[in-house]
Amino acid sequence: MGRTFAPDSATRVVKHGDIPWVPMGILDSGVEMKLLRVGKEDDVCTFMNRFQPGFQAPKHLHLGEVHAYTFEGCWHYLEYDWVSEAGDYVYEPPDTIHTLHVPEDNPGVTVALFTVAKGMDLYDDAGNVFMTQDNQGLEALYRLGLELKGLSWPDAVLP
């Protein structure tokens, strides 16, 4: 006896060209995002980032696990001695804290896919949490980036 699924739970394909790259935050932040899946039901968000050479994210603590795959370029965490290059997969367990950095001498952009569960706490230079960035926060950032580029919400983004 087979299982039946609601149409919303069916396998779906998100076409690369159906979701635009938009700035993450301000226009010249050094990072762009493609939001592929918001994760409204399970709090697991999937997105791609395109980082400019020299980009550095705020130090952050992951509240759930993270899976990352690097398509192009390279990046690393200041706190660790490894570098993720094109073709590398990175697993991060919950409660890891680090600072993402793209080397200044990277010859071009770095493109990576991230699947993030439960979001992350972002820290300021004094070590205080200034924001918890979860799937709703990432959706809001993506909507802001769309607005900055004069674009509407793409129907291809999965809930």
Question: Looking at the domain assignment, is residue 157 inside a domain?
Answer: no
Number of compact structural domains in the chain: 1
Chain centre to alpha carbon of residue 138: 8
> Which structural domain range is residue 93 located in?
36-143
pLDDT, tens digit, 9 for 90 and up, residues 34-60: 999 999 999 999 999 999 999 999 999
Question: Looking at the domain assignment, is residue 16 inside a domain?
Answer: no
Question: Looking at the domain assignment, is residue 76 inside a domain?
Answer: yes
pLDDT, tens digit, 9 for 90 and up, residues 104-129: 999 999 999 999 999 999 999 999 99
pLDDT for the residue 12: 87
Question: Looking at the domain assignment, is residue 43 inside a domain?
Answer: yes
CATH of the domain at 64: 2.60.120.10
Question: Looking at the domain assignment, is residue 66 inside a domain?
Answer: yes
Q: What pLDDT band is residue 20 in, cutting at 50, 70 and 90?
A: very high
The per-residue b/e assignment along 21-40, b for 16 or more CB within 10 angstroms, e otherwise, is ebbbeeeebbbbbbbbbbbe
How far, in Å, CA of 51 to CA of 100, rounded? 10
Question: Looking at the domain assignment, is residue 27 inside a domain?
Answer: no
